[in-house]
Chains A and B, each alone.
Chain A
């Protein structure tokens, strides 16, 4: 039988704050991090609520001991480094250097947040200037390589980009690499910062909400974009026990399954979301009835919530509490899978159902309703969904240690 993979350290940055305590407190206080952005320079700043991390690039740099200004680090990378730093403060760099490590990172648009402000210089005749520090930062691996270098780690590295399910994919890849002995442990997760490129991309698709999003509500009008980073340290259970680590959760199952329906929209009947959850349960050797909380993808777009709620109802009936935490953080895209995995794990550890904010009226096609209050339940297994463009669907299952 395959060795169990466990989560033994986490790091998180979101609009709710920096670190575990700040994020957890905001969730328990039902306090949203959405606001009009201060740092992102966009025509939509006064129009759309977004899940922007409170700190400026200079403040983020300062927390990392880096100089301010155009220091060559993109906001994406700075957010990621602050999340990874939390893992490092728990386990130390020598530990991470001691045995084969993988660093599986994920993001959707790399350093676009910087490049979009300099692109006209990139394509001008100018051959000198600060923009040169960012000339190799557009691609997704930029953050991965810079993070490793900054922390003096030499892991096996990979960068995944599968839209909104990216970091959920990073987690399952890390688990598989450990299972097959490629590495001893893996830091897996993702990062994305707000960019005009992304805001305008989603705006051009007409699925962004100006007001705070209302997942699983009949009157939902779209998503709020967000930014952040989330990382989880994975290792074999026996290794974690041997070093006396605090085992935060067991990563008991996962599935990646493609919808094969449309470039951006999900199968309306929810069959693809259902299939993904079903396969994740099978991998975890669990029944639907074993799951005690579902952290839904719940973007509050018309199509996602319609499809996902049908899938949840078909799989779990009316019995399993579910919610979307997107109204707290906004949709953090490539970071969402990891951030919501962390939220799901907290729910599990604290036997607490996380409430879905802004819900008032139930959807007509389904009878299930999201959890809106903080309630205490003994939780054993939780499931977290991340569904992306290109039909890329991932479900993760975590179990109590």
Chain B
């Protein structure tokens, strides 16, 4: 079995006040138009000042979150950089594509092309940190972040001494992406206020979102906020497969279902994707159930926000009201199970525990 990886620091730019966090998820941000955009940060503190002028939002937020995570951990250069993204810099891709069509393949700006390359953020982070180490980018829809964490776990399990990995994810919701995916019923027709999303789980569709999250991970426990014990991924799985997956995961870590203090669910308000959560609520009879997509909207790497949230819950030993789905007085938050399902049929389980 692979060893746990320890989270030394976590950083998130999201539609909530997570980056400049003075209070845990306060004040709460919401929207009424079916879209949640990130609360932007002062990217100039983190990004090369010459390059920043030409960068799209997702690149700036990706680099800033990454650099902030490293700063929090007091690390200038990690041993590896591993990221996951559903779409990379979609805006650059759209710009290059439309210019190409409109200008009939002439006089195109190479910057958009270069920045649309899925690993361009990895390259920038490596450049800014002078990191010559392992560098990897997963572009695998709703499991992109999970695969980057899993690869970090492989890397750290192989390491013979203490090593650190910067792992994270980023995705941006563009207007065109939102428009296009509306044609295949991604979004709700009758749009509730975002904070009421989960209460509208009897209709089709969700709301759109975006964000970036980065983590400094290591293979030694000292100073860690918490540990990622296991990551399991599924594609187009039957409910019974995920159900067995939950039990295998618990068994492997010598946990009973009631040892899970908080179940953190990626419910997105879409009735078509609710079944896996209903199953989990039966299987893991924890008194405290939380949800997060009413705060972030749905996007391919939303589970990165969930990992950030879990690490914050363990660090602060608090369950904020705004994420509570079902609650009782949990004595201590030791184990959090994240369950996330994405529109394109993927499901993931991530077990986060006290270090």
Contacts and interface: CB of A to CB of B under 8 A. Distances in A.
B47 to A, nearest CB: 13
Contact of A42 (B105, B134, B176, B180): B105
Contact of A259 (B113, B132, B134, B158): B132
Contact of B120 (A123, A179, A390): A390
B123 A258 contact: yes
Contacts of B133: 257-258
A140 B233 CA distance: 18
Contacts of B46: none
Interface stretch (A52-60, A195-203, A284-292): A195-203
Contacts of B134: 256-258
Interface in A162-203: 162-163, 169, 173, 176-177, 179-180, 182, 196-197, 200-201, 203
Given A139-B86, A161-B137, A258-B81, A180 B154 contact: yes
A195 to B, nearest CB: 10
B118 A140 contact: yes
A161 B119 contact: yes
B87 interface: yes
A262 B97 contact: no
B2 interface: yes
Contacts of A158: 138, 140, 143, 147
B101 to A, nearest CB: 7
A192 B191 CA distance: 39
Contacts of A389: 114, 117, 119-120, 123
A162 B135 contact: yes
A303 to B, nearest CB: 14
A47 B45 CA distance: 45
Contacts of A259: 126, 132
Contact of B139 (A139, A205, A257, A388): A139
A263 B120 contact: yes
Contacts of B143: 157-158
A260 B124 CA distance: 8
B23 to A, nearest CB: 36
Central interface residue in A108, A123, A157, A204, by most chain B CB within 10 Å: A204
Contacts of B140: 140-141, 144, 157-159
A363 interface: no
A116 to B, nearest CB: 6
Contacts of B109: 204
Contact of A141 (B105, B141, B181): B141
B126 A390 contact: yes
A342 B233 CA distance: 30
B2 A180 contact: yes
A139 B110 CA distance: 20
Contact of B113 (A43, A148, A205, A261): A205
Interface string A112-128: 10011001101100010
A170 to B, nearest CB: 10
Interface string B80-119: 0100001110000100111011001110111001100111
B139 A161 contact: yes
Given A140-B140, A201-B110, A201-B113, A135 B96 contact: no
A259 B123 CA distance: 8
A64 interface: no
Given A140-B139, A201-B96, A259-B126, 18 more contacts: A44-B105, A119-B98, A135-B180, A136-B184, A139-B86, A144-B140, A161-B88, A161-B117, A161-B137, A163-B117, A197-B96, A200-B96, A256-B135, A263-B123, A389-B119, A390-B120, A390-B124, A391-B123
Interface of B: 2, 81, 86-88, 93, 96-98, 100-101, 104-106, 108-110, 113-114, 117-120, 122-124, 126-127, 129-141, 143, 147, 151, 154, 157-158, 176, 179-181, 183-184, 233, 235-236, 344-345
